[in-house]
């Protein structure tokens, strides 16, 4: 019998071509209970990937197109006065869903961007002093274009730190691009996708991810990466304890996605750059290239321990 993870991956592959590694990272973030920032140029399939994941799960999907005139209440919802009932009634915003696509998040003002902070960190929304729970699982997939920066508002470090990962789509090879043309020539595969698992399946997988075994030496390795990042030359701000926990959760979830019951060094290395890079503040460098290079240098500078990783 096919597992929910394999079923979701197979479903997404009906739409996306050559994005298996990105799909694994997306599922990793979902099972870790985190959120993903997809940063890439237009037309690479960011929105299609988010919709394919949402259609693969029998869960609520919401989408917000972020623009400069978008208000926080357009995201979270607001109270309005119902004249027939003679009382204020809460109208939920699109954030009340399981999978939220925050499209071009950096085009909204910092005030509107910050409306997602509580949602992403605590899974709740507070409007007029009343706190409401968001339905679990709650997963934000935000996108932004790193090229067109005119009229955008860069995400502050506090907002970036709420994202478990920052990933980008891999450009297709010629063979893969031909496969895309053939697949979409006469049909729309995205519209044909059917759910292959439920919300309960995802919640169960999230619980399983927390139970993935992590050897003490692996915990020391993860902590060593964070410690080393704080003393790196040219790095003004290293990985925080929240980032260390994020790397642990991502490593456990990635191991589960790969079908293992324990975390190996390969799991940590696979998720390290997407988890760590956007948390590094590199002096004298703008853009993501410097952060990715610093994350790569960090990985190469810390010795990988050798143990029997499945030995408890």
Tens-digit pLDDT profile for residues 11-46:
999 999 889 999 999 999 999 999 999 988 777 888
Stretch 130-138: mean pLDDT, rounded? 94
pLDDT at 149: 67
Measured in degrees and rounded to the nearest 5, phi and psi for residue 37 equal -110, 115
**Is the pLDDT score of 109 beyond 80?**
yes
Q: What is the DSSP string of 202-221?
A: HHHHHHHHHTSB--HHHHHH
Measured in degrees and rounded to the nearest 5, phi and psi for residue 199 equal -60, -40
* % residues pLDDT > 70 (the chain): 96
C-alpha of 84 from chain center: 42
pLDDT at 1: 54
pLDDT at 30: 97
pLDDT digits (tens, 9 = 90+) for 163-192: 999 999 888 889 989 998 988 888 888 888
Cβ–Cβ contacts within 10 Å for residue 297, how many?
A: 15
Q: Are 295 and 280 within 8 A, CB to CB? A: yes
Q: Is the peptide bond before 39 cis (omega within 30 degrees of 0)?
A: no
Prediction pTM value: 0.93
pLDDT digits (tens, 9 = 90+) for 260-278: 999 999 999 999 999 999 9
pLDDT at 183: 86
- Residues 47-77 as b/e (b if ≥16 CB within 10 A, e otherwise) read bbbbbbbbbbbebebbbbebeeebebebbbb
Rounded Cα–Cα distance for residues 36 and 105 (Å): 12
pLDDT digits (tens, 9 = 90+) for 39-77: 887 778 888 899 999 999 999 999 999 999 999 999 999
pLDDT digits (tens, 9 = 90+) for 91-100: 999 999 999 9
Q: Which residues contact 50 (CB under 8 A, 6 or more apart)?
A: 38, 99, 101, 141, 143
**Is the pLDDT score of 307 beyond 80?**
no
């Amino acid at each position: 019998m096919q597992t929910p993870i394999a079923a979701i991956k197979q479903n997404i592959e009906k739409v996306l071509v050559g994005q298996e590694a990105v799909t694994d990272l997306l599922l990793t973030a979902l099972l870790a209970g985190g959120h993903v920032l997809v940063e890439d140029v237009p037309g690479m399939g960011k929105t299609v990937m988010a919709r394919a994941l949402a259609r693969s799960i029998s869960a609520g999907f919401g989408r917000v197109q972020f623009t400069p005139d978008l208000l926080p209440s357009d995201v979270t919802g607001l109270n309005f006065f119902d004249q027939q009932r003679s009382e204020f009634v809460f109208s939920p915003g699109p954030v009340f869903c399981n999978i939220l696509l925050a499209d071009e998040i950096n085009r909204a003002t910092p005030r509107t961007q910050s409306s997602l902070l509580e949602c992403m960190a605590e899974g709740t929304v507070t409007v007029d002093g009343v706190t409401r729970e968001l339905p679990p699982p709650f997963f934000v997939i935000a996108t932004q274009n790193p090229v067109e920066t005119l009229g955008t508002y860069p995400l502050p470090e506090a907002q970036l730190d709420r994202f478990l990962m920052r990933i980008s789509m891999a450009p297709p090879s010629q063979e893969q691009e031909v496969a895309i043309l053939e697949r979409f020539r006469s049909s729309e595969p995205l519209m044909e996708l059917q759910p292959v698992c439920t919300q309960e399946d995802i919640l169960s997988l999230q619980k399983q991810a927390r139970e993935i075994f992590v050897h003490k030496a692996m915990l020391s390795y993860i902590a060593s990466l964070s410690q080393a990042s704080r003393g790196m030359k040219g790095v003004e701000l290293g990985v925080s304890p929240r980032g260390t926990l994020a790397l642990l959760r991502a490593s456990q979830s990635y191991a589960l996605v790969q079908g293992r019951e324990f975390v190996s060094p390969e799991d940590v290395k696979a998720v390290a750059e997407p988890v760590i890079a956007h948390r590094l503040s590199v002096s004298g460098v703008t853009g993501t290239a410097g952060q990715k290079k610093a994350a790569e240098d960090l990985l190469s500078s810390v010795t990988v321990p050798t143990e029997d990783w499945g030995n408890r």
